[in-house]
C-alpha cells in the first residue's frame, strides 16, 4: 500500500496515499479496531451541513476568507452527495466525545480544499470557532432531526394512510371483539382498523413534538459551554445557515452547559420512536393472529402470500412481514435502553457516550422507516377480511349475551352463556330453555349492528 507522511501534535504517521484523511483519523483507525460498525452515514452528512454553516458564519465574522469558506462549502456539499463516503472509516467504538470523527471530517475537508488550491488547516480553519464538544452533539441532533423529519415521519404517514384506506373500504362489516384473548362484544372491522391507524398517528404527533427539542443545538458552546474562542452571536449565525440548508428550525440551545452534557432531547425523541415500535408490534401481532390458519387458526383476515414459508412443509405460507416488524420493534426497544443508559452518563461538563447514542438512534430511525414501508407495501395494502369467517364467529359468540343484561340482568345473562357453553348449544337456545325471553324478544334484542 502506498502511503504518505502526515503529522499532528503527536508526531508523524503514515497514511494511505489514496485517501484524504490525515494523522488523527489514521491514529483512530489503528487504535480502535473494535466491532467494525462505522459511524452512521447520517452523522457524516450532519457534519457536512454543520461545517458548511460554521464556515459561512466564520466568513461573516471575518475569521475565514471568501475563498476559504467557499472551499469548505464545496467539500461539504460533495460529502453530502456521497462522493467521499470511503473517506470516513472510523468506527462507533472510539472516544466518547466523537472527537476523532470531528477531526476525520475536518481533515478530509482540508485535504479536498488543498487539492483545489486553497490551503486549509483542519483545526485552525475547518474547525474555527468550534470544539468537538459542541460539534458532535450538534451533529447528533441534526442527524436525528433530519432522520425523523425526512425518513420516519413520511414512512409512518404512508402506513397511516394505508390503514385509513382499509378502514374506509369496509364501513359496515361487523366482527366479534376479543379482550384477554377471549370473546368479547362486537365491533365494526373499520373500528378495529381505526385503532391501528391511530396507533401510527399518535407516535407521529409525539415525534413532531420531539423535533422542537432536537432542533436545539450545542454549537457555540465550544469546550465546556462557555463559548471560549467563538465570536459573539456565532451560534445564531450557524443555526440561521442550517435553517436555510435543511428547512428545519434549528436554534441555539440557550444553555450550552445543558447542551454539552445532557442528551435528554435524544432520550425524549427516541422514546417516541420506541412508542411507534411498540405500536407496530401490537398491530403486527393482531394481524398475524387474525390471519392465522389457513384452517386451524382464527382465519379472519387474508394477508398477501409473498414467499414459501417452510423448507419441509410444502404449501406453507407464513406472516413474514409481521415477523419482520416485530423483530425490528424488539431492536428499537433494545436501542432505547442503550440510549437511556448513555444519556445518564453526562459527567461534569460533557457526555462521553455520544457515538453509541448516535449509532443506536440512527439504527432505530432506519429500521422504523424501512419497516413501515415494507409492512405497508407487502402486507397492509393487500389485507382483505374473511367475511364468511367473521360472520360465523360473530353469530357463534356467547358474548352477544351482553346486550341481554338490561332485560334479564347480569346474573341471568351469565347463566345463559354458561349453559350454552356447557351444552354446546346456541345462546338463543339457552335463553329459550331457561324461559327468560321469547324467540321474538331474543331476535329483537340480540342484534350485533346495534351493539357497535
Task: Give the separation between CA 344 and CA 172, rounded to whole angstroms.
Answer: 51
Q: Is 452 helix (H, G, I), strand (E, B) or coil?
A: coil
Q: Which of 7, 20, 125, 180 is catalytic?
A: 180
Cell of 245: 440548508
Beta-strand ranges (E) seen in 236-319 are 251-252, 301-302
The answer to whether 347 touches 369, Cβ cutoff 8 Å, is: no
* Residues 259, 162: Cα–Cα separation, whole Å: 39
Closest by CA position to 122, among listed 81, 86, 163, 87 = 87
Q: Whose grid coordinates read 377480511?
A: 385
Residue labelled with grid coordinates 321469547: 438
Q: By CB neighbour count within 10 A (0-12 exposed, 13-18 middle, 19+ buried), where does 265 fall?
A: buried
Q: Which 8-state DSSP code applies to residue 122?
A: I
Q: Which of 228, 235, 172 is nearest to 449 (CA)?
A: 172
C-alpha grid cell, residue 143? 442527524
Rounded Cα distance between 335 and 333, Å, is: 5
Catalytic residue among 7, 121, 310, 344: 310
Q: Are 233 and 184 in contact (CB under 8 A)?
A: no
Residue partners of 139: CB distance under 8 A and separation at least 6: 43, 46, 47, 50, 98, 358
310 catalytically annotated: yes
Rounded Cα gap, residues 101 and 97, in angstroms = 9
- Active-site annotation, residues: 180, 310
Amino acid at each position: 500500500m502506498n502511503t504518505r507522511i502526515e503529522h499532528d501534535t503527536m508526531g508523524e504517521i503514515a497514511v494511505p496515499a489514496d485517501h484524504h484523511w490525515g494523522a488523527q483519523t489514521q491514529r483512530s483507525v489503528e487504535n480502535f479496531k473494535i466491532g467494525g460498525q462505522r459511524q452512521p452515514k447520517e452523522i457524516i452528512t450532519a457534519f457536512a451541513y454543520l461545517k458548511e454553516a460554521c464556515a459561512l458564519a466564520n466568513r461573516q465574522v471575518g475569521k475565514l476568507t471568501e475563498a476559504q469558506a467557499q472551499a469548505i462549502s464545496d467539500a461539504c456539499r460533495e460529502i453530502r452527495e456521497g462522493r467521499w463516503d470511503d473517506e470516513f472509516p472510523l468506527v462507533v467504538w472510539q472516544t466518547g466525545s466523537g472527537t476523532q470523527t470531528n477531526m476525520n471530517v475536518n481533515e478530509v475537508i482540508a485535504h479536498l480544499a488543498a487539492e483545489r488550491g486553497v490551503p486549509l488547516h483542519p483545526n485552525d480553519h475547518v474547525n474555527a470557532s468550534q470544539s468537538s464538544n459542541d460539534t458532535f452533539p450538534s451533529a447528533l441532533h441534526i442527524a436525528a432531526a433530519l432522520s425523523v423529519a425526512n425518513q420516519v415521519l413520511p414512512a409512518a404517514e404512508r402506513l397511516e394512510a394505508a390503514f385509513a384506506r382499509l378502514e374506509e373500504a369496509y364501513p359496515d362489516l361487523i366482527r366479534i371483539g376479543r379482550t384477554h384473548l377471549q370473546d368479547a362484544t362486537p365491533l365494526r372491522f373499520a373500528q378495529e382498523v381505526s385503532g391501528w391507524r391511530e396507533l401510527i398517528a399518535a407516535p407521529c404527533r409525539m415525534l413532531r413534538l420531539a423535533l422542537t427539542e432536537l432542533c436545539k443545538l450545542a454549537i457555540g458552546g465550544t469546550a465546556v459551554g462557555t463559548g471560549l474562542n467563538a465570536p459573539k452571536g456565532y451560534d445564531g449565525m450557524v443555526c440561521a445557515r442550517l435553517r436555510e440548508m435543511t428547512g428545519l428550525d434549528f436554534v441555539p440551545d440557550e444553555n450550552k452547559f445543558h447542551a454539552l452534557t445532557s442528551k435528554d432531547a435524544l432520550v425524549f425523541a427516541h422514546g417516541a420512536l420506541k412508542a411507534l415500535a411498540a405500536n407496530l408490534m401490537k398491530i403486527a401481532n393482531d394481524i398475524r393472529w387474525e390471519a392465522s390458519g389457513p384452517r386451524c387458526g382464527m382465519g379472519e383476515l387474508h394477508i398477501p402470500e409473498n414467499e414459501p414459508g417452510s423448507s419441509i412443509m410444502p404449501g406453507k405460507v407464513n406472516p413474514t412481514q409481521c415477523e419482520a416488524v416485530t423483530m425490528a420493534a424488539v431492536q428499537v426497544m433494545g436501542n432505547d435502553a442503550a440510549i437511556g443508559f448513555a444519556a445518564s452518563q453526562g459527567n461534569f461538563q460533557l457526555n462521553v457516550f455520544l457515538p453509541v447514542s448516535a449509532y443506536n438512534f440512527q439504527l432505530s430511525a432506519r429500521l422504523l422507516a424501512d419497516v413501515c414501508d415494507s409492512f405497508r407495501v407487502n402486507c397492509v395494502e393487500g389485507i382483505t377480511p374473511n367475511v364468511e369467517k367473521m360472520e360465523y364467529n360473530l353469530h357463534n359468540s356467547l358474548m352477544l349475551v351482553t346486550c341481554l343484561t338490561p332485560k334479564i340482568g347480569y346474573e341471568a345473562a351469565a347463566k345463559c352463556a354458561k349453559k350454552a357453553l356447557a351444552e354446546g348449544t346456541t345462546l338463543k337456545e339457552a335463553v329459550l330453555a331457561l324461559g327468560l325471553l321469547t324467540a321474538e324478544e331474543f331476535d329483537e334484542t340480540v342484534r350485533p349492528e346495534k351493539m357497535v
